[in-house]
Amino acid sequence: MSAAQVWLAIAGMGLITGITRALFLMGGERMILPERVQRALRYAPAAALVAVVVPDLLTTPAGLSIAFSNHALYASLCGLAWFLWRRGMLGTIVVGMIVFTVLRLFT
């Protein structure tokens, strides 16, 4: 790609991003999303987080891995179990880090 093509791509992406974000602002209070869409949008942050975190947990330098050597995967599963049991963020972090450290040291 030439420098002009790179700058054109950057400008195009900026324009598209600006337009899609501005549509909601231009509509103002006249634009009301249907109840079904509003309910669906409540799950968008969690879906985005999962889309970022899960591929990072499942991939290793060797590729996709659910083997016991994938310490991050099993530490995160233990942290998730703690969170579902106790609903505490600090405990989740501590449990996940302890499991990760123990797995790295002893396997």
pLDDT of 62 = 84
Tokens coding 38: 């509003």
| Amino acid symbol at 43 | Y
Task: Take residue 59 and report the two structure tokens written for it.
Answer: 């991939």
Task: For residue 68, give the nearest of 78, 53, 55 by alpha carbon.
Answer: 78
pLDDT digits (tens, 9 = 90+) for 53-79: 999 999 888 889 999 889 999 999 999
Each residue of 1-42: pLDDT tens digit? 899 999 999 999 999 999 988 887 877 777 788 999 999 999
Q: Where are the domains of the chain?
A: 1-32, 42-106
What backbone torsions phi and psi does residue 59 show, to the nearest 5 degrees?
-105, 145
Residue type (1 letter), 73:
L
